[in-house]
Each structure stands twice: as C-alpha cells, then as structure tokens.
Chain A
C-alpha cells in the first residue's frame, strides 16, 4: 500500500468518524445561542470552530453537514456511474439502430446543461427529500460516464483478446463482463472521483438556490455559500466547510487512484 493510499484511507476514516459520530457528540447544529453577543465568534474551547452569524456552533453544523454532503455525493456518483456503465456498454457494444439511438441519448444528455435540468426537475418536484435529491443528481450525471465507457468499449471490442475469447466460444455478455468492462473501468473511476467533488459543489449551489438541503439544515456547500458575505471578518466560516470539501475530494481522488492502479496491474 502506498503512502498516498494510506493518506486517503486516513482522510476517509476521519470523515466517516465526523459524519457518524460527530452529530452524536456535538451540540444541536441549529440552536441559536446568543444572537446579541454570540455571533461570528472565532474558534474557542466552547466552540471549536467558532460560531456563525446566527450564533450556531460551526463544528456541530460541519458534523451534521457531513452526513448530507457526503451521503448525497456518494449516492449521486454511484447512480451516475451505474447508469453510465450500463448505457455506455450497451452503446459501445451494440450495432446499428440501437447503437445510434443510445449515442444520440448520450449526446443530448451532454448537450443540455446539467444545472438547468436539475433546476427544472427539482422545482417541479417541490420539497425534495435528500435521498430523492441524490437520485436526481445521479440521474443527470450519467451522460459523461456513459461517453467514457462507450469510448473504451469501442476501443476494446476490437482488441485481439476479445477475438480470442470469441474464438473460445464466449457468449457476448460474458465478453462484455469479463473482457471489456475491466478495461473500461479505470477512466470511469477517475471520472467518479472527480464526480464526488462535482456533486458536492452542485449540491452546494442548489442549496444556495433553495433547491437542495432546505435551511436550517446544514450542508457543506450551503455553509460555504452562507458565509461568503462575512468571509473578511470571519474566515473560519469559510475555512471549515472549505477544508472539509478539500479533504473529502482528496480522499476520493487518492482512493480512486489506488483502485485504478489495482485494476490496471500493468500501469505503474
């Protein structure tokens, strides 16, 4: 195991601890303690990461936001990767009409800005429970994944080892699963790790527009956007969720890279 992998695992452990144990031990994230004198307090022993402009404890909010932000991002990326994999494989492996149809679907999915689709979908649904929010986020993220998988599938289906498998009598589904998919996965893993960061930021933007986690619920993106206006006087309000986002995306990238190396034994 490389140092990078260990570092990634360490970050993941810390974040999981924050998301699982944090909310249990921290104070109520929504309690407004002292609106007169307790707002925008710098970090102290009483408030480890300070307080925000409504005098809420930032650490508590960070911990409860971890559940929403990490949960949404992981579910969204998993959904996007799964849909992208199925559609991309089908598009790359099929011939004729079906292949053309799927390719158009992917192109259309890529052409329409994701944020617009999300705005329309989420405002049409109204009040969105977080699990549905994550699903919607994932359902709009598949075209990029599908394009990657399709390209890799097209490249690999003409590989000589695929011809060898066919000559051995392997059915097409087995060829897709055993010969092509393992080769098509590495770029998808890279895209997925980047997608985790992307999903968190999208969630942040949508929360800001009132379409994500509704206030007063905390999410890292939401916290980041709320604290924008007071950044000059209370930088810890930006730093706490910002560093948490950096940690989460770093963990995803490092672990994705480790996984890719594992799946790609010939690349060093």
Chain B
C-alpha cells in the first residue's frame, strides 16, 4: 500500500507553501519525509541543493540545524519528564551552538521571542495550555536557527481564539527571521492568511498546486473547488454555492486505476478516460492541475 505517491514540489527560501488535504491524504507523511523523519521508499528530497538521502547520519544531523518541525499535537510533542528549559535547550546542546554557561540566557531569549515568560524554563509541560505548549515547541525549533520549518498542522489542535495568536507568531517569525515554511493544514481559510503557494493533496497525490491567490481564488480541480466552497463566507449577502461531495474517499489500499478522485467527481465532462488513465499535473490557468477535464475558469462559477 502506498500512502503517498507522485508528489513533487519546491519551496524557495523565505517562501511559504501550504499543503492542504483531508485526513489521510498523506500531508503529514510528506512533511515527515521531507525531514527524513520517515524514510520514503522512493523519491528524493533536496535541501539547499544537497540530496538528503545521500547524507551520512552525521551530515544529516548537521543539516537538521537548518530544517525543523513544529508538530500538530502540543501535548505529545513535549517530553512530560523534562522541563521546558531542557526541551528548548536540546538543540543548543546537541549542536554546541552556544557555550554551556550561556544556554540559560539563550533559552530565556527564545522563550521571550515566542511570547512566553523566561521564568517558565524551570516548569514542566503539564503546567501549560495548548497554545503555550505550541509556543514552546516553536521556541525549541527556533533554537537551532533553522531556515526552513515544517509546520504540521500547528494550530489545528488549538482553540480558535488561540489559533490566531499562534498563527500571528508564525507570521512574525517569518518576517523577522526570513523563514520558509511548509505549512500543512486542512483549513483553507487559515492557509489563505499564511501561504504564498498552495498544494492540494487527495489520497496521497498532489491534485492542484499554484499561487495561493489562484488556487483559492479560482480553483480548477473539482476537489479543490469542493474544498474552497466549504470555507465559511463571513458576508451573508454574498451568494454562495456549496459543493457537497458524495461518498467517502476510497481505501488507499484499493485506489481507482485512473484518477484517484473519479469515484466522487462531479465534473460534467467526466468520461471513460478518467477511470482508466491517471491524470498528471498540467498547467491550467495560473496553477498546475492533475485533472483531464479541468479548464481555466472552471472554478469561477463555484466561488
């Protein structure tokens, strides 16, 4: 069984690519494979020009100074037996970034940078709320001064009011530190705020990728159109057609031969080719779309 297949994208320095899709679409697997926290059976990840798969364990550890991850679950991502200070100091110690006697100072700085009190360093994770823990996780990632961070649904486990605060923190850090993000999410409204480009995943493949404005403003792939139509519209006077998909996604162990979306597709031009031939990404409008039928302007009607 393949969780993820045929996924290819590039992220420029300082750029944010959002990876969107429903649960089980393989977004997190991609995020972890990018950092080689999970070994892909095939495929390559190049970071700053080097293929990560060719690195020795030592060189890979060195490369990890520059790419970090912020996890979804703020309760599982901090070791309950270690103080906040110890967790944040971990990267500093591993890479010997600052002399031992300056670690405490640096940890205080990092905690303040993510909006926490420096005195929290001696406390344990269970004393903090989800939002605070997520900030701690961010401070831990920032400790090694990375240029690229995989944000694996960093706010989806948080209360809505806290989501905005953590999202703003990520935006501020991006400006201050020139960070590039791979922002994994299932909420398009959120993605709209943070992403330069958006990639939409369905059942382990990218079905649409392009500038955020194009993908969210004029979605082309039927699946993206359905996703975009589900975003709540704050303006009640605005007309809005909601596309409701029928059925469930097929089991990843028994994928359709042709287009993975064929079982739920509502495109009027759907034909036999869709169930026999797998579509590959091709330019449609400003974005790349993996659909035989999609045409520029398809999505205009749905938004």
Task: State whether A266 touches B90 (Cβ < 8 A).
Answer: no
Task: State whether A168 touches B71 (Cβ < 8 A).
Answer: no
Report the bound CA distance from A52 to B260 in whole Å: 86
Report the bound CA distance from A266 to B140 in whole Å: 20
Q: Tell me if B137 counts as interface (CB < 8 A to partner A).
A: yes
Q: List residues of A (139-188) whose CB comes within 8 Å of B's CBs.
A: 159-161, 163-171, 174, 178-179, 182-183
Report the bound CA distance from A167 to B141 in whole Å: 9
The residue that A161 contacts in the complex, of B32, B65, B79, B143, with Cβ under 8 A, is B79
Which secondary structure dominates where chain A touches chain B?
helix
Task: State whether B79 touches A169 (Cβ < 8 A).
Answer: no
Q: Tell me if A263 counts as interface (CB < 8 A to partner B).
A: yes
Q: Tell me if B82 counts as interface (CB < 8 A to partner A).
A: yes
Report the bound CA distance from A265 to B126 in whole Å: 8
The residue that B81 contacts in the complex, of A168, A169, A182, with Cβ under 8 A, is A182
Interface string of A243-268 (1 = CB under 8 A from B): 00000000000000000000111100
Q: Tell me if B61 counts as interface (CB < 8 A to partner A).
A: yes
Q: Tell me if B62 counts as interface (CB < 8 A to partner A).
A: yes
Task: State whether B62 touches A179 (Cβ < 8 A).
Answer: no
Report the bound CA distance from A142 to B32 in whole Å: 37
Q: Tell me if B124 counts as interface (CB < 8 A to partner A).
A: yes
Task: State whether B90 touches A165 (Cβ < 8 A).
Answer: yes
Task: State whether A167 touches B69 (Cβ < 8 A).
Answer: yes
Task: State whether A263 touches B81 (Cβ < 8 A).
Answer: yes
Task: State whether A266 touches B37 (Cβ < 8 A).
Answer: no
* CB neighbours of B124 from chain A (8 A): 265-266
Q: List residues of B (57-89) whose CB comes within 8 Å of A's CBs.
A: 60-62, 64-65, 67-69, 71, 73, 76-82, 87
Report the bound CA distance from A161 to B78 in whole Å: 5
Report the bound CA distance from A182 to B126 in whole Å: 16
* Interface range on chain B (Cβ under 8 Å from partner): 20 to 34
Q: Tell me if B7 counts as interface (CB < 8 A to partner A).
A: no
Report the bound CA distance from A63 to B125 in whole Å: 46
* CB neighbours of B94 from chain A (8 A): 168-171, 174
Q: Tell me if B144 counts as interface (CB < 8 A to partner A).
A: yes
* CB neighbours of A183 from chain B (8 A): 79-81
Task: State whether B80 touches A168 (Cβ < 8 A).
Answer: no
Which of B32, B76, B80, B140 has the most CB atoms of chain A within a 10 A radius of its CB?
Answer: B80
Which of A159, A169, A171, A178 has the most CB atoms of chain B within a 10 A radius of its CB?
Answer: A169
Task: State whether A171 touches B61 (Cβ < 8 A).
Answer: yes
Report the bound CA distance from A109 to B189 in whole Å: 58
Q: Which residue of B lies closest to A174 (CB)?
A: B94
Task: State whether B61 touches A266 (Cβ < 8 A).
Answer: no
Task: State whether A160 touches B144 (Cβ < 8 A).
Answer: no
Task: State whether B64 touches A168 (Cβ < 8 A).
Answer: yes
Q: Which residue of A lies closest to B79 (CB)?
A: A161
Report the bound CA distance from A47 to B198 in whole Å: 88
Task: State whether B76 touches A161 (Cβ < 8 A).
Answer: yes
Whole-angstrom distance from the CB of A121 to the nearest CB of chain B?
37
Q: Which residue of B lies closest to A180 (CB)?
A: B79
Residue pairs across A and B with Cβ atoms less than 8 A apart, 7 shown, are A159-B76, A165-B90, A168-B68, A168-B143, A169-B94, A183-B79, A266-B125
| New contact pairs (11) apart from A168-B140, A169-B61, A265-B80, CB-CB < 8 Å | A163-B77, A167-B37, A167-B64, A167-B69, A167-B141, A168-B144, A170-B61, A170-B90, A182-B82, A264-B81, A265-B126
Binding site for A on B (CB under 8 A): 32, 35, 37, 60-62, 64-65, 67-69, 71, 73, 76-82, 87, 90-91, 94-95, 124-126, 137, 140-141, 143-144
